[in-house]
């Protein structure tokens, strides 16, 4: 479904992504792991056209999307759930959930499925986004991405800053979203979360892929964990 071939991404003159190649097959959950500053978020932004991929090629669903505008990429069926969630703080939960349906078209069945996955959001419909807890904001960001009816979700740091109990609940939500037919590329710093969710993993360090293989192979490779992920 998604293929990157020798992609290079820059912030100004800073060469952040240095020749990354990876693939995500339809129906998979694939994890991209690495330390802070490894280039994981920049890579997601390069896929979405937010950061310019000056070299290499990004292909989605058989189409070359390198250099396309972000809104055009989104319309093809890719949605990004960013690390900072980007919910609308002064809109209610209900209003936040209405935003993606304006572009994707109203879908009462999809909204019902959102409440199956995230029952807490039904209880908080009239609350402003800024009054939600961190876990509730992450639920809302995931739900909003789901309502855009994507083929592929790019999720940046599912577990960032959240209590373990909330992370476990979100992991179950993500498994349900994947089971509903949505392919997932997950950026994650917590190795255990990545290994529990993904069938395959890539390790990114200083803008380059240092490992590509199954989740089990990464779990077994203590050298890669120590060198590039700081796992003692």
* pLDDT per residue as tens, the chain (232 positions): 999 999 999 888 889 999 999 999 999 999 999 998 899 999 999 999 999 889 999 999 999 999 999 999 999 999 999 988 888 999 999 999 988 876 656 566 778 888 888 888 999 999 999 999 988 999 899 999 888 889 999 999 988 878 888 899 899 989 999 998 999 999 998 999 999 999 999 999 999 999 999 999 999 999 999 999 987 5
Rounded CA-CA distance 175/158 in Å is 12
pTM: 0.91
Residue extent(s) of CATH 3.40.50.300 domains in the chain:
2-77+150-229
Topology of the domain comprising 2-77+150-229: Rossmann fold (3.40.50)
- CB neighbour list of residue 181: distance below 8 Å, 6 or more residues apart: 27
115 φ, ψ (degrees, to nearest 5): -70, -25
């Amino acid at each position: 479904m998604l293929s990157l071939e020798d992609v290079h991404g820059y912030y100004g003159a800073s060469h952040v992504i240095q020749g990354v190649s990876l693939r995500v097959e339809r129906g998979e959950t694939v994890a991209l792991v690495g330390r802070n500053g490894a280039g994981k978020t920049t890579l997601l932004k390069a896929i979405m056209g937010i950061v310019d991929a000056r070299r290499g090629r990004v292909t989605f669903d058989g189409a070359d999307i390198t250099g396309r505008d972000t809104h055009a990429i989104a319309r093809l069926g890719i949605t990004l759930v960013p690390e900072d969630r980007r919910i609308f703080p002064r809109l209610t939960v209900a209003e936040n959930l209405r935003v993606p349906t304006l572009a994707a078209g109203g879908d009462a069945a999809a909204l019902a499925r959102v409440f199956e996955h995230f029952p807490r959001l039904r209880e908080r419909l009239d609350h402003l986004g800024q009054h939600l807890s961190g876990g509730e904001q992450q639920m809302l960001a995931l739900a909003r991405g789901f309502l855009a009816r994507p083929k592929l979700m790019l999720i940046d740091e599912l577990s960032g800053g959240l209590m373990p109990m909330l992370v476990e609940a979100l992991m179950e939500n993500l498994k349900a979203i994947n089971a509903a037919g949505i392919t997932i590329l997950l950026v994650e710093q917590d190795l255990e979360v990545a290994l529990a969710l993904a069938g395959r993993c890539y390790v990114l360090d200083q803008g380059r892929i240092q490992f590509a293989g199954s989740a089990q192979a990464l779990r077994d490779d203590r050298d890669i964990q120590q060198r590039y992920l700081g796992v003692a």
